[in-house]
């Protein structure tokens, strides 16, 4: 749901109610019961008045970043992909790879070639995943294709088989958590919990917050898969998200349907709001939500926790005043107050119901995207202004998505959380640059990602003429002995090819001879530090490395 389409949100809710029965007004998404008789309607009207006041209390949080000396894009990237995250990720990948190695029976399976990874290799792997969002191909193998139509740089950093092997074993677990085998959260809960705890330490959110749901597209068979009418991807895993109005995700929760012990049962929408806001109550925050969550009861509960609520309202919610079912002429509005809650029925092209504990319904000037000025209730103007955080987040993530084809749902969820972490680091970087007065350092999302990729691949340490050599010679394993010069650069030295169990050495073709003359020449030597460990005869070794 987009905040710009607020006037169309309740079109299907306001059919002719004069001849409809209570059974015809049931809402499939609401967890609340409906008013079903004139008696309940009259009871709901008690206490509502045409005029009233709203409570006022100050915003007591600071609303800033706890980021330390971070200044560059890679610094903000490292705030999220920190040493704790990397150690847990590497341990999980190695553990999963070892288990897969022990369980594999196929003699030619790629899993039999598994070797433990390390921080340097995983950072290169993440950089390649990020860069795949900029270059979209239908097949994963095409990123390593030698066809002149492609000619992509991925093969210079990591071999295809190694990348696929790490991707297959990509996993995130935390030894502090234990789950049953029937719990669908056991694969995803550790990474979401890590993210939520990290955001609490990094960010003190601003006053205005937004709650909405996102959908991770999944059409396969999955017991927690949801169907959400009106979304672009109607089938998938539902994620409840709390963001600020700039799109920085503060907290998220993967909804598991009837298997979700925290949110299942009556009062589902209220439970979602209270769960996402539990760390930010009693601080004067303003919360903006759509009609799936809002009700008079929830508004009163949040008001008792010194938290404002503003959003659209469904006509059939329990506790609504009678004006929510009243037909009015175009350009008019009705307002009712009770205990600091304001409910508004405004008619423009369609009826729009609003509820707020912060904004009145007085008419103010509103300018649309064409520059035309019109009169609208203040509550609607404020809602359109601030109800955009989750939509902005989803829009930004759709620009450069990671490659997620042919992968399991929980791995796709892990990649989604890492994309949110990357987006948060970008949004925080730009905001910090604006706060510090360095507007010239503000950059686009694409430039931020490319800057991070260059740092992760370490291709900016040498002059431009030597960068291709640095890319080709980048080490991919910490098990190889390295010799360094006084400047810290690696020196590549030839080594003899290892012997097999029969004591014989299987020779390799010299890479340089093949590239320059097109002829095959076998050799007993190779370079252990180059990405593909090419065979090189001693005469060609120095020429190949430009020594």
Reported as a single tens digit per residue, the pLDDT across 233-243 is 788 899 999 99
Question: Is residue 141 included in any domain, yes or no?
Answer: yes
Q: What angle do CA 349, 354, 356 make, to 5 degrees?
A: 155
Q: Which residue has the higher pLDDT, 494 or 481?
A: 494
Q: Give the model's pLDDT for residue 166.
A: 94
Question: Is residue 429 included in any domain, yes or no?
Answer: yes
Q: Are residues 100 and 168 in the same domain?
A: yes
> What integer is the mean pLDDT of 425-442?
91
Report whether 9 contacts 29 (CB < 8 A). Answer: no
Question: Is residue 121 included in any domain, yes or no?
Answer: yes
pLDDT at residue 120 greater than cutoff 50: yes
> What six digits make up the tokens of 273?
């709001």
Q: Give the model's pLDDT for residue 300.
A: 94
Tell me how far apart the alpha carbons of residues 344 and 161 are, in angstroms, rounded to a whole number: 61
Range with the largest mean pLDDT of 134-138, 305-309, 398-402, 408-412: 305-309
Q: Are residues 443 and 525 in the same domain?
A: no
Residue 349: φ, ψ to 5° = -75, -30
Q: What angle do CA 532, 455, 155 make, to 5 degrees?
A: 25
Question: Is residue 246 included in any domain, yes or no?
Answer: no
Q: Are residues 119 and 169 in the same domain?
A: yes
Question: Is residue 47 included in any domain, yes or no?
Answer: no
pLDDT tens, residue by residue, 175-215? 877 776 777 788 899 999 999 999 999 999 999 999 998 88
Residue 49: how many CA atoms within 13 Å on its side-chain side? 8
What percent of the chain has pLDDT above 70? 85
Q: Are residues 116 and 164 in the same domain?
A: yes
Q: Are residues 111 and 173 in the same domain?
A: yes
pLDDT at residue 408 greater than cutoff 90: no
Give the domain-ending residue among 457, 473, 491.
457
* Per-residue pLDDT band at 477 (split at 50, 70, 90): very low
Tell me how far apart the alpha carbons of residues 124 and 312 are, in angstroms, rounded to a whole number: 46
Q: What is the value of pTM for the model shown?
A: 0.76
- Counts for the chain of helices (H) and strands (E), in that order: 15, 17
With 0-12 CB in 10 A as exposed, 13-18 as middle and 19+ as buried, what is 327?
Answer: exposed
Question: Is residue 421 included in any domain, yes or no?
Answer: yes
Q: Are residues 541 and 501 in the same domain?
A: yes
Q: Give the model's pLDDT for residue 23.
A: 36
> What six digits make up the tokens of 522?
């076998």
Report whether 357 contacts 340 (CB < 8 A). Answer: yes
Residue 242: φ, ψ to 5° = -110, 120
Question: Is residue 143 included in any domain, yes or no?
Answer: yes
Tokens 């040498």 correspond to what residue?
A: 462
Number of domains the chain contains: 2
Report whether 341 contacts 307 (CB < 8 A). Answer: no
Q: Are residues 492 and 411 in the same domain?
A: no
pLDDT at residue 30 greater than cutoff 80: no
pLDDT tens, residue by residue, 82-118? 999 999 999 999 999 999 999 988 888 888 989 999 9
Q: Are residues 413 and 487 in the same domain?
A: no
3-state SS assignment for residue 28: coil
Mean pLDDT rounded to a whole number for the chain: 83
Q: Are residues 142 and 91 in the same domain?
A: yes
Range with the largest mean pLDDT of 44-48, 377-381, 473-477: 377-381
Report whether 297 contacts 319 (CB < 8 A). Answer: yes
Tell me how far apart the alpha carbons of residues 44 and 32 are, in angstroms, rounded to a whole number: 14
Q: Give the model's pLDDT for residue 301.
A: 95
The dihedral region occupied by 373, where left means phi > 0, alpha psi between -120 and 50, and beta the remainder, is beta
Q: Are residues 108 and 168 in the same domain?
A: yes
Q: Are residues 445 and 502 in the same domain?
A: no
Give the domain-ending residue among 441, 457, 473.
457
pLDDT at residue 421 greater than cutoff 90: yes
Report whether 489 contacts 499 (CB < 8 A). Answer: no
Q: Which of 176, 71, 81, 190 is nearest to 125 (CA)?
A: 81
Paired sense of beta strands 286-289 and 208-217, if any:
parallel
> What integer is the mean pLDDT of 491-512?
83
Q: Which residue has the higher pLDDT, 412 or 10?
A: 412
Tokens 């015809």 correspond to what residue?
A: 24
What domain range includes position 131?
74-177+403-457
Question: Is residue 452 included in any domain, yes or no?
Answer: yes
With 0-12 CB in 10 A as exposed, 13-18 as middle and 19+ as buried, what is 90?
Answer: middle
3-state SS assignment for residue 290: coil
* Per-residue pLDDT band at 338 (split at 50, 70, 90): very high
With 0-12 CB in 10 A as exposed, 13-18 as middle and 19+ as buried, what is 9?
Answer: buried
pLDDT at residue 378 greater than cutoff 90: yes
Q: Are residues 488 and 430 in the same domain?
A: no
């Amino acid at each position: 749901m987009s905040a710009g389409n607020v006037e169309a949100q309740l079109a299907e809710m306001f059919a002719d109610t004069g001849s409809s029965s209570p059974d015809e007004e049931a809402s499939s998404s609401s967890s609340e019961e409906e008013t079903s008789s004139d008696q309940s309607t009259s009871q709901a009207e008690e206490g509502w008045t045409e005029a009233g006041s709203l409570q006022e209390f100050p915003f007591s949080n600071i609303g800033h970043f706890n980021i330390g000396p971070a200044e560059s894009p890679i610094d903000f990237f490292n705030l999220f992909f920190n040493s704790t995250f990397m150690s847990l990720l590497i341990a999980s990948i190695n553990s999963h790879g070892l288990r897969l190695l022990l369980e594999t029976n196929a003699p030619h399976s790629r899993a039999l070639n598994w070797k433990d990874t390390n921080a340097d290799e995983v950072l290169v792997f993440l950089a390649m995943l990020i860069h795949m969002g900029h270059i979209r191909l239908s097949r994963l193998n095409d990123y390593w294709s030698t066809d002149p139509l492609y000619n992509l740089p991925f093969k210079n950093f990591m071999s295809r088989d190694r990348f696929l092997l790490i991707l297959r074993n990509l996993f995130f677990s935390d030894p502090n958590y234990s789950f049953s085998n029937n719990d669908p959260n056991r694969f995803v809960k550790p990474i979401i919990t890590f993210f939520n705890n990290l955001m609490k330490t990094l960010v003190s959110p601003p006053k205005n917050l937004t709650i909405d749901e996102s959908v991770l597209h999944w059409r396969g068979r999955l017991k927690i898969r949801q169907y959400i009418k009106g979304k672009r991807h109607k089938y998938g895993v539902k994620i409840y998200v709390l963001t600020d109005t700039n799109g920085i995700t503060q907290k998220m929760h993967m909804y598991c349907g009837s298997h979700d012990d925290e949110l299942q049962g009556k009062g589902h929408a209220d439970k979602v709001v209270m769960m996402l806001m539990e760390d930010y109550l009693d601080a004067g925050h303003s919360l903006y939500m759509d009609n799936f969550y809002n009700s008079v009861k929830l508004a009163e509960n949040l008001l008792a926790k010194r938290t404002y609520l503003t959003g659209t309202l469904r006509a059939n919610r329990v506790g609504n005043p009678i004006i929510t079912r009243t037909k009015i002429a175009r350009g008019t509005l009705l307002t009712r107050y009770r205990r600091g809650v304001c409910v508004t029925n405004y008619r423009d092209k369609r009826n729009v119901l609003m509820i707020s504990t912060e904004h009145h319904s007085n008419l103010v000037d509103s300018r649309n995207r064409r520059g035309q000025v019109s009169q609208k209730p203040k509550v609607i103007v404020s809602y359109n202004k601030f109800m955009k955080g989750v939509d902005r987040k989803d829009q930004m993530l759709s620009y450069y998505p990671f490659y997620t084809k042919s992968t399991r749902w929980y791995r796709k969820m892990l990649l989604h959380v890492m994309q949110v972490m990357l987006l948060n680091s970008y949004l925080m970087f730009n905001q910090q640059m604006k706060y510090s007065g360095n507007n010239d350092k503000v950059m686009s999302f694409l430039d931020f990602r490319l800057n991070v990729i260059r740092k992760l691949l370490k291709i900016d340490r040498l002059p431009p003429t030597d960068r291709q050599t640095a890319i080709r010679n980048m080490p991919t394993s910490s098990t190889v002995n390295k010799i360094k010069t006084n400047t810290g650069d690696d020196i590549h030295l030839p080594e003899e090819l290892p012997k097999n169990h029969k004591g014989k050495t299987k020779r390799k073709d010299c890479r340089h001879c093949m590239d320059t003359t097109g002829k095959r020449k076998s050799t007993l030597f190779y370079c252990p530090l180059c990405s593909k460990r090419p065979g090189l005869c001693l005469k060609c070794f120095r020429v190949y490395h430009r020594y």
